[in-house]
Amino acid sequence: MPTRSCGPFSAQGTHRRAKFPLPVPTSFSPPLSLAAIDVAVTYPNGLSALRDASFRLDGGTICALVGVNGSGKSTLFKALMGFVTPTTGRVEIDGRPVREAQKQSWVAYVPQAEEVDWTFPVSVHDVVMMGRYGYMNFLRIASTADRAAVETSLRRVGMWDYRDRQIGELSGGQKKRVFVARALAQNGRVILLDEPFTGVDVGTEEAIVTLLRELRDEGRLILVSTHNLGSVPEFCDQVVLINRTVLAYGPTSEVFTAENLTRAFGGALRLFDLAQSTVNDHDGRSVTVLTDDERPLVLGKRGHLEYLDRTGREQLISDREEEQKGKS
C-alpha cells in the first residue's frame, strides 16, 4: 500500500513505508528575486558573447530562457549560476551577489545530459546526496536530515526504488529525474534547468512539467533554458528572449509573438504557413507553424500529407475530393 501520494511520478513503481517521518518540504520560503543588471560577458579571446543584458524575475514563476545556439543564451545561464563572472554589470539574487546565494544553497542546477559523466561510479542515491553538501559540515558526513531529504526527493520523482543503481544504467527520463531530485534535496529556491527535455520521453516530460508547477507554487523561481519553442507556451509563465542581449522579457503571451521570435531567431526559424493547404480547401483561416530545429511533419484532413512547397501540387485538393467521392 502506498502510504503517501508521490506527486506526478506516483505511477512509477511501488513505494514502501518510510522508515522515519518525512519532513514536509520546506516550502513557502519567501520568494527570491533574480536580476541581471547590464550584464556583459567578453571571453578572453575577445569574443563578446553578451552585452547590456538586463531583466528581473520574482519567485513563484516558471521562466523560459529562449535563444538560438550562439545567442549568448548559455553564457547568460552561466552568469546567472555564477560560473562566469560578467565583464561588466552584475547578477543579483535577492539583492545579493550570486556567490552569497550559492553559499546558502539557494541556487540549484539541473545539467544537460551531455554534461554528465554517466560512467562515473556513483549511485542514484550518491548523486542526490550531492545536493546536500551545502548543509553538511566540513567532512560532508550525511546527517539524518540529509538522508531524509534525499529520500523525500527521490520518492517525489518516483526514483526511490532505483536508489542503488549506477547512474549510467538508467533511461534518459530517469536520468533527468535523478538530477531534478538533487535540486529538490538541495531545497534550491532558484532552480535552473538546462535543456531539460532533450532525450526525455513524453511521459517524463509531462511529469517534470507538473513537478515544476508544484515547485513554482511553493514560491521557487524556475528558469528553463530551452530551444524547444513549442513547449514554452505550454508551461512557462514568462520568457526571456535572447540574441546577444535581452531582446524582450515578460509574460509569455506578450513576449512570444511572431515579431519578437523573428527578431530573436532571424533566419534560423522555419516557417510553415498553412493558409494555403495542399489537402484542405482554403477557407481563409490561417495557422502558422514555427520551428527552429527540425522540419515538422504536418498532416491535414484524413491524414494526408501537407507539403511546404505547393507549386505543382495544386491539383492535389481536387484529387483528394475525387477519391473521397469515389469511396462514399
Partner 1 sequence: MFTFLLAPFHYDYMVTALWTSALIGGVCGLLSGFVTLKGWSLMGDALSHAVVPGVAIAYLLGLPFAVGAFTSGLLAAGAMAFVKMKTPVREDAVIGIVFTAFFALGLLLISLFPSRVDLKGIIFGNILGIATGDVVQVVIVSAVCLLVLALKWRDLMLFCFDPNQARALGLRVGALHVMLLLLLSATAVAALQAVGAMLVVAMLVTPGATAYLLTDRFSVMLRIGAALGALTSFFGAYLSYFLDGATGGCIVSLQTLGFVAALLFAPKHGVFASRRTLRRARAQEAAVP
- Which residues here bind partner 1, judged by CB under 8 A? 44, 81-83, 99, 102-105, 107-109, 111, 115-117, 120-123, 126, 130-131, 133-134, 138-140, 166, 182, 186
Q: How far is the CB of 114 from partner 1 (least distance, A)?
A: 12
If the CB atoms of residues 121 and 303 are measured against partner 1, the closer one turns out to be: 121
- Helical (H) or strand (E) element with 247: strand 246-251
The DSSP bridge pattern shows strands 33-42 and 48-58 to be antiparallel
* Residue among 109 and 162 whose Cβ is closer to partner 1: 109
Shortest distance (Å) from residue 293 CB to partner 1 = 25
- The secondary structure element, H or E, covering residue 205 is helix 202-217
Burial of 56 (0-12, 13-18, 19+ CB in 10 A): exposed
Q: Are 243 and 263 in contact (CB under 8 A)?
A: yes
- The residue among 108 and 232 lying less far from partner 1, judged by its C-beta, is 108
φ and ψ at residue 290, rounded to 5 degrees: -110, 135
Q: Which residues pair with 289 in a beta bridge?
A: 272
Which CB sits closer to partner 1, 105 or 262? 105
Tell me how far, at minimum, the Cβ of 19 lies from partner 1, in Å.
21
Shortest distance (Å) from residue 243 CB to partner 1: 25
Q: Which is nearer to partner 1, 20 or 138 (CB)?
A: 138
Nearest to 177 by CA among 197, 191, 149, 192: 197
Q: How far is the CB of 215 from partner 1 (least distance, A)?
A: 17
SS3 assignment for 257-318? CHHHHHHHHHHHCEEEECCCCCCCCCCCCCCEEEECCCCCCCECHHHCECCCCCCCCCCHHH
User: Considering the complex, what minimum distance in angstroms separates the CB of residue 300 from partner 1?
Assistant: 39
> Within 13 Å, how many C-alpha atoms sit on residue 143's CB side?
9
CB of 42 to partner 1, least distance (A): 16
Which CB, 222 or 229, lies closer to partner 1? 222
Q: How far is the CB of 285 from partner 1 (least distance, A)?
A: 47
Using the minimum distance from each CB to partner 1, give the nearer residue, 102 or 280. 102
CB nearer to partner 1: pick between 44 and 303:
44
- 115-131: burial string, b at 16+ Cβ within 10 Å, e else: eeeeeeeebbbebbbeb
Neighbouring residues of 185: CB distance < 8 A, sequence distance ≥ 6: 128, 129, 131, 132, 149, 150, 152, 153
